[in-house]
Amino acid sequence: MSSSSSDEVDEALEEMVDQVVDNFIDSVIHAHPNKPTRRAYVERHREQGHNQLWNDYFRENPTYPPEMFRRHFRMNKPLFLRIAERITNEVPYFQQRRNACGRNGLSALQKCTAAIRMLVYGQSGDTYDEYLRLGDSTSRLCLENFTNAIIHLFGDEYLRSPTPEDLQRLLDVGEVRGFPGMIGSIDCMHWEWKNCPTAWKCQYTRGSGKPTIVLEAVASQDLWIWHAFFGLPGTLNDINVLDRSPVFDDILQGRTPKVKFKVNNHTYHMAYYLTNEFYPNWATFIQSIPLPQGPKAELFAERQESTRKDVERAFGVLQSRFAIVKNPALLWDKEKIGKIMRTCIHLSSSQESQAEVRGCNGEKVVTIPVPLQIVTSKNHQKDKKLEKQKNIIDEISDHLNEMTEIVKKKLKKYSDLVEEENNNTPKTTSDTRKTSPMLAPIT
């Protein structure tokens, strides 16, 4: 009986296993895949958005005058149309096309306006959905393609090294302001990175507790930023950034135009920048006097500190024009953040180039960007570079020696004045110390 009952149990288990296996095979063979879900489509009537934008700003008698256009776009209308036309002609993404149904897509004006509004106001892409009739993802895609187009098409025009004409204009302006040989002011600015990856926060966080990215820039009086170095971690100070900066690469490689100016009957062939007290004592940097003694030193310190504010004023104007630079960066990709910063600098410099540039006597100066042409032999290129570097080192050494001699003379003159004053002053200090209870020895 026991053997027969065990056989029945085994047979029942086998039947159950076979049934489970058969059901699994049937479910695999005759499985019905889930119906794919389609992306939610919202009919935004993009033609209505284009017509509204055209009637507000671009028709013959628009709703908003040119002053309001400049306020909303942070640039004048001719500059915007010039940028939009060139981008439309050379970038396929901004060209209006038809879809499979024969319906026109978004216009170039809508895409450029969405990108510029995001730069100007620093808001998310869906903020302009109701007006421009395009979604958040489309707005972010417009911003990405717009920054790439601005850097590719206008990078060599606005963010470039000064040409010989530019250098002469900068030298003339510096001489009128009392600093012959000055070509700009250099300083650093920090941009907060809100969505910095957690693994990088210690590298980008300073004492303030917020991750930042450093921008080093050189600006002139007319707010032209002709050098920008962006992307280093916020823990670096000005000197660390300078050690990694390519600001002097053109000088070391002999690609800069030659300059010549005189100060106190001494001829110099290398221009300089105005800096704060944190930069090193190099021949190309002029700092203020920390503790000025006498009216001349006080006047120099006052003029240097006021003139050096050009770069800080350029930073302030850049942040006021483009709020995306003033607000914390919301992107995760540092490369895209760098492109946004460069685009804002390009657009800001383009507006300054549209304005009239006045010379030292008030006359209008027209500057034409001329690319630098360097004629050097390939056989002597390395020797010329080494000779240039040696000359720069010699000039820096001579500058430091001159500064040392000046400091020695001032210290000697100051010590002579102190000694003369002590000789003319009645010696009553010893008697006062004898009678003063505060200076009496402790017993």
pLDDT of residue 378: 40
Q: How far apart are CA 288 and CA 305, in angstroms?
A: 7
Least confident range from 232-241, 420-429, 430-439: namely 430-439
Highest mean pLDDT among 221-235, 358-372, 376-390: 221-235
The mean pLDDT of 67-83, rounded to a whole number, is 93
Which residue has 């490369």 as its token pair? 335
pLDDT of residue 209: 82
Three-state secondary-structure class, residue 268 = strand
Quick: pLDDT tens for 265-293.
Answer: 788 888 889 999 889 888 888 888 888 88
pLDDT of residue 405: 54
pLDDT of residue 412: 60
pLDDT band of 51, cuts 50, 70, 90? very high
CB neighbour class for 357 (10 Å; exposed up to 12, middle 13-18, buried from 19): middle
Helix (H) or strand (E) holding 78: helix 77-90
Quick: pLDDT tens for 325-366.
Answer: 999 999 999 999 999 999 999 999 887 665 544 343 444 443
Nearest to 109 by CA among 131, 88, 140: 88
pLDDT of residue 63: 94
- DSSP letters spanning 320-362: HH-HHHHSPB--S-HHHHHHHHHHHHHHHHHHHHHSPEE-TTS
pLDDT of residue 383: 53
pLDDT of residue 440: 38
Is the pLDDT score of 95 beyond 80? Answer: yes
Pairing state between β 266-268 and 272-274: unpaired
More confident residue, 127 or 369: 127
* Residues forming beta bridges with residue 186, ordered by sequence position: 218
pLDDT band of 94, cuts 50, 70, 90? very high
pLDDT of residue 35: 72
Calculate what percentage of the chain has a pLDDT beyond 90: 41
Is the pLDDT score of 148 beyond 50? Answer: yes
190 close to 319: Cβ distance less than 8 angstroms = no
Q: What's this model's pTM, rounded to 2 decimal places?
A: 0.72
pLDDT of residue 360: 39
The mean pLDDT of 400-429, rounded to a whole number, is 58
pLDDT of residue 25: 79
pLDDT band of 49, cuts 50, 70, 90? very high
pLDDT band of 141, cuts 50, 70, 90? very high
pLDDT of residue 346: 92
Nearest to 281 by CA among 402, 440, 373, 193: 402
* Residues forming beta bridges with residue 383, ordered by sequence position: none
The mean pLDDT of 49-54, rounded to a whole number, is 94
More confident residue, 415 or 158: 158
Quick: pLDDT tens for 13-29.
Answer: 888 888 888 887 777 77
pLDDT of residue 425: 62
Please give the torsion angle defined by the CA atoms of residues 427, 428, 429 and 432, in that order, rounded to the nearest 10 degrees: 170
239 close to 279: Cβ distance less than 8 angstroms = yes
pLDDT of residue 355: 53
pLDDT band of 218, cuts 50, 70, 90? very high
Classify each residue of 201-216 as buried b or exposed e, where b means 16 or more C-beta atoms within 10 Å of its C-beta.
eeebbeeeebbbbbbb
Which residue has 């794919």 as its token pair? 36
Is the pLDDT score of 227 beyond 60? Answer: yes
Three-state secondary-structure class, residue 121 = helix
Quick: pLDDT tens for 178-189.
Answer: 888 899 999 999
